[in-house]
Structure 1
């Protein structure tokens, strides 16, 4: 297992943002049948009071009849950040906010994944690479 990073400076300087292939859509389903039919294709899920939120590949969402007018790109931060680490999410959202790019951050066990509007993916990747470079200085 790689070393887990705890400090903000180490997390930011080591984050190595990488644009994941594919477009994704956030959706919500209420029925158990709908959920079981789609869960296998989801790259992430979260159960909320209003239903099951899923992040689906664009084509899966479109084929299931979901609204696909807000396609997202996923940028994975390839640093093994501690779940108790402080500062990475704030720095990432701050850098993207300064570039007028909205983001949704999903923290998984190994990495954080930043979802940004599809049309802003290149600007977002550049902003995160710039943030990483500035933390290395």
Structure 2
């Protein structure tokens, strides 16, 4: 099944779910079982379970909770990242996003994960976005019609 591109459907069916555990970002040249791997010019960034980092003696700066948006978003969908990050930013919550083939994943500072889940669940409700306005207008991406 193809991923969803319609932003209203994506937000309606967002279904945020917390993955168990705490996660950390590290950089290392060692082979370590990672949940995610990002190759950058400066080196390799790994997202690991906190316990894995500690078992391998790797240092980290902060811990994060992992939230998966269960809706099957298309990699070509427009506005989902903006809607999610805007809602979280309005609540003062930091968010690091990773896009997978089927789902988007958010790493939220551990103390704010439950609050982030509440914000995301509210974002799925039409009232949170305002009755009768488009998502693009709610995000401030278009001017209101007169």
Bin the TM-score by the shorter chain. 0.7 to 0.9
Q: For 1:105, what is the secondary structure of its paired residue?
A: strand
Do 2:26 and 2:47's aligned partners in 1 also have CA atoms closer than 8 Å? yes
Moved runs in structure 1, 4+ residues, more than 4 A?
A: none
Residues 69 and 46 (structure 1), Cα distance of their counterparts in 2 relative to 1, 3 Å cut: closer
Do 1:62 and 1:68's aligned partners in 2 also have CA atoms closer than 8 Å? no
Q: For 2:124, what is the secondary structure of its paired residue?
A: helix
Structure 2: runs of 5 or more not aligned: 132-146
Larger Rg over CA atoms: 2
Match of 1:109 in 2: 101
Match of 1:82 in 2: 74
Name the CA distance, whole Å, in 2 between partners of 1:66 and 1:13.
Answer: 39
Match of 1:26 in 2: 25
Structure 1: runs of 5 or more not aligned: none
Q: Counterparts in 2 of 1:46-65, with a 5 A limit?
A: 46-65=38-57
1:94 aligns with 2:86: yes
Name the CA distance, whole Å, in 2 between partners of 1:82 and 1:59.
Answer: 32
Q: For 1:22, what is the secondary structure of its paired residue?
A: strand
1:133 aligns with 2:125: yes
Name the CA distance, whole Å, in 1 between partners of 2:46 and 2:60.
Answer: 13
Q: For 2:120, what is the secondary structure of its paired residue?
A: helix
Q: Structure 1, residues 26-72: CA drift from partner, whole Å, max 9, x if none?
A: 1112x3xx1x2x0xx21110111111111000011122222344100
Structure that is richer in helix per residue: 1
TM-score (norm 2): 0.83
Q: For 1:115, what is the secondary structure of its paired residue?
A: strand
Match of 1:11 in 2: 10
Do 1:101 and 1:124's aligned partners in 2 also have CA atoms closer than 8 Å? yes
CA RMSD of aligned residues (A): 1.6
